[in-house]
Amino acid sequence: MRYKSEEMKEKIISSVESFFLTHHRTPTITELTGLAGLSRGRVYYYLKELDQEGRILYDGKRLETPVTRKASPEVDLSPILGTVACGQPQYAEENFESYVALPTIIFGDDAHFILRAQGNSMVEAGIEDGDLVVVRKQNTAREGEIVVALVENETTLKRFYLDSKRQQVRLHPENREMEDIYVDHCYIQGVAQHIIKQVK
């Protein structure tokens, strides 16, 4: 049993490092459960044991191995806060999943959060169902930027425009089969900065 336990620990370390070298970030707990073929509880158990043994660094947020520590620049841990509609707006739901380490050399020191895209209204902008959208937290946007907009307690991910003729905000889907959404007011929660493609 001890041999199998040690074998699994080695597999977890190897999985984290292989994932990091491919995706330039460490995997989330959910991703690691798939890579290791274990439940979230077992993955957490092994990570804590490896941390206690000094073979990795894991504090519930940050996950580092000797390989990732050497290769990783300064990072900022940004939370995954649930889903955002890439279709019709849906009820705003903040459902914390985990953290993703974002290199500050790329994203800077601005506050970011991450949402999981749901729907297909932004496919022509390269945002597919299940992708992670890195969002810079801000309450203003320039025309043409992709924003997370709160419309009457519902969130949606769309390209932002001001329609001077209608005197309304136009939220434009990047899918030619869908129509624009016109609203009198919306609250900008952030601007999309980067897409992390779904691991298939």
Q: Where do the domains of the chain lie? A: 2-71, 75-196
Task: Give the model's confidence band at 127: pLDDT under 50 very low, under 70 low, under 90 confident, else very high.
Answer: very high
Is the pLDDT at 22 greater than 50, yes or no?
yes
Cβ of 114: how many Cβ atoms within 10 Å? 23
Task: Give me the mean pLDDT over the 35-40 stretch.
Answer: 88
Please report the pLDDT score of residue 3 as a whole number.
41
CA distances from 27 to 98, 135, 142, 164, 175 (A): 10, 19, 32, 44, 30
Please report the pLDDT score of residue 91 as a whole number.
43
Catalytic residues, by residue number, are 121, 158
Task: Give the lowest-confidence range in 89-98, 110-119, 140-149.
Answer: 89-98
Higher pLDDT, 78 or 92: 78
Please report the pLDDT score of residue 23 as a whole number.
77
Q: How many degrees, rounded to 5, is the angle at CA 14 between CA 196 and CA 22?
A: 30
Is the pLDDT at 157 greater than 80, yes or no?
yes
* Distance of alpha carbon 191 from alpha carbon 147, whole angstroms: 4
Could you name the CATH architecture of 2-71?
A: Orthogonal Bundle (1.10)
Higher pLDDT, 106 or 179: 179
CATH topology of domain 75-196: Umud Fragment, subunit A (2.10.109)
Is the pLDDT at 177 greater than 70, yes or no?
yes
3-state secondary structure of 99: strand
**For residue 188, which of 151, 135, 154, 149 has the smallest C-alpha distance?**
149
Task: Give the lowest-confidence range in 67-81, 90-104, 163-177.
Answer: 90-104
Is the pLDDT at 79 greater than 80, yes or no?
no
Task: Give the lowest-confidence range in 13-22, 48-57, 74-83.
Answer: 74-83
Task: Give me the mean pLDDT over the 93-102 stretch.
Answer: 65
Please report the pLDDT score of residue 14 as a whole number.
87
Percent of the chain having pLDDT more than 70? 84
